[in-house]
Amino acid sequence: MEKVTLKDKTFKTFIPYEKISAAIDDVAAKINSDFRNCDDVPVLLCVLNGSIMFMAELMKRLTFPLEVVSLKLTSYEGTNTTGKVKQAMGLTADISGRRVIIVEDIVDSGNTIVELKRIMEERGAAESRICTMLLKPDAYRKDIRLDYVAMDIPNDFIVGFGLDYDELGRNLKDIYVLDE
């Protein structure tokens, strides 16, 4: 089992890239099925920075015309959520009247999802669906339906494949869990 050290913490391999890739294949197939014959051009919304790797992998597998838009929200400091979601960068395009697929790296408390749905409504999206690479079902307590979930994981702190610890570890191709 491979280990990596980021700042003051050591992490061990948790989900190898091959398993991540297979899960993305499955979630992309569901999205392709739902959007296969669409007449419009849906928006794929990348929630920066964590979703970049998932977004890139997912986009390659989607077979319908789409537009890419980004937004940056922050809610973490170190390994802890602050409980407050702040918009660090606004939407990079107008989404009014558009169908939006929100691409998230991970859903835990759900606070970010609530804020994303609020922003979509405020900006006039015709519809918004949630696609997340990872879900921590033990931590998620919101009533908002998650339309596409690649994998469920335990409520542990993880890094890699876009996820960070104080901005480090996003470039790791596997997902690692805190080694305690």
Write the pLDDT tens digit of every residue in 18-69.
999 999 999 999 999 999 999 999 999 999 999 999 999 999 999 999 999 9
Q: Which fold does the domain 17-72+87-151 belong to in CATH?
A: Rossmann fold (3.40.50)
Q: Judge whether residue 126 has pLDDT over 80.
A: yes
Residue 150 parent element (H or E): strand 148-152
pLDDT at 55: 98
Tell me what pLDDT residue 76 has: 58
pLDDT for res 92: 84
Domain spans of the chain, in order of start? 17-72+87-151
Please say whether the beta carbons of 46 and 58 come within 8 A: no
Token digits of residue 31: 């999205």
Q: Could you say which of 105, 108, 164, 174 is catalytic? A: 108
Give residue 80's pLDDT: 63
For 129-167, the pLDDT digits (tens) are 999 999 999 999 999 999 999 999 999 999 999 999 999
| pLDDT at residue 74 greater than cutoff 90 | no
Tens digit of each residue's pLDDT (9 = 90 or more) over 77-98: 655 666 678 777 888 899 999 9
* Pair 136, 143: CB distance under 8 Å: no
Q: What is the CA radius of gyration of the chain?
A: 16
Instruction: Please give the average per-residue pLDDT across 116-131, as a whole number.
Output: 97
Distance CA 74, CA 84 (A): 8
Higher pLDDT, 173 or 77: 173
**Whole-structure pTM value:** 0.93
Would residue 108 show up in a list of annotated catalytic residues for this protein? yes
